[in-house]
Amino acid sequence: MRPHPSLQRQHRPANTGRRWLALCALLLTTACTDRQTPSDDPWSRSGELIAMSGGEAGARYACATCHGVRGEGNGFDAPRLAGLPAGYLQKQMEDYAAGLRPHEVMRDVARFLDSHERVRVANHYAALPPQAVAPATEETIDAATPALYARACQQCHGVEGVGTANGPPLNAQPAFYLSQQLQDWQRSKRRNDGNHVMLEVAQRLDAGEVRQLGLYLARIPPRPAIADR
């Protein structure tokens, strides 16, 4: 005679369900943020190949598609990567993968790469000569904007936006991209600086100041980063 189903359940270890849920949570967490297993794809063996081919993700996710073959950006919503600090670039990819810096496309790009590939791509772009697409707009920069930058941004991002040990370079980035990032900080949509300094700074700016800072920084020529971070 088969035991009643209620008696069968009594013999099941009490913690089986909890173990299964914990295992599922662990697998989902790791799968969403890092491919974990190093790639053996020949297109993922160097940072340049990954940037141009997209590695295992394919050409659809190649960095060059949006950021240009020389890392110069597109002059609009894709920033220049050439000459930026390798440590900064790597951190942004890790933050995209983890969801700390929301961006649907960049999230998918970063998650297709394992941690070693992210390092290779960061080193590739950091080693490129800094260059950028020339600003397309002739919009006038307010005479008070350099002083606004010095007061609000210079301590972390350096004179004329060339970067410091505490903040990445901002010079020669697209005006639209810079304004968009400040707006994301204002809304707390972007929150990956670790100590909320950017939230506080951005929320003290009005819409006109955000626009002016973007225009001002976009017209400062690119140059090598002062230090890696």
**Contact of 71 with 213, CB cutoff 8 Å:** no
- Is the model's pTM score more than 0.95? no
Which pLDDT belongs to residue 229?
43
Residues 163 and 185 placed together within one structural domain of the fold: yes
**Residue 51 falls within a domain, yes or no?**
yes
Q: What is the pLDDT of residues 12-71, one digit of tens each?
A: 444 544 444 443 343 333 334 454 455 555 545 689 999 998 777 677 889 999 999 999
Question: What is the spatial distance between Cα 80 and Cα 197, in angstroms, rounded to a whole number?
Answer: 23
Say if residue 120's pLDDT is above 50: yes
Q: What is the pLDDT of residues 172-194, one digit of tens each?
A: 999 999 999 999 999 999 999 97
CA 216 to chain centre: 22
CATH code of residue 159? 1.10.760.10
Q: What is the pLDDT of residues 81-113, one digit of tens each?
A: 999 999 999 999 999 999 999 999 999 999 999
- Phi then psi dihedrals of residue 58, to 5 deg: 90, 175
Residues 205 and 107 placed together within one structural domain of the fold: no
Residues 112 and 183 placed together within one structural domain of the fold: no
Number of domains the chain contains:
2
Say if residue 155's pLDDT is above 60: yes
Residues 39 and 71 placed together within one structural domain of the fold: yes
Residues 108 and 158 placed together within one structural domain of the fold: no
**Residue 224 falls within a domain, yes or no?**
no
Residue that terminates a domain, selected from 133, 161, 191: 133
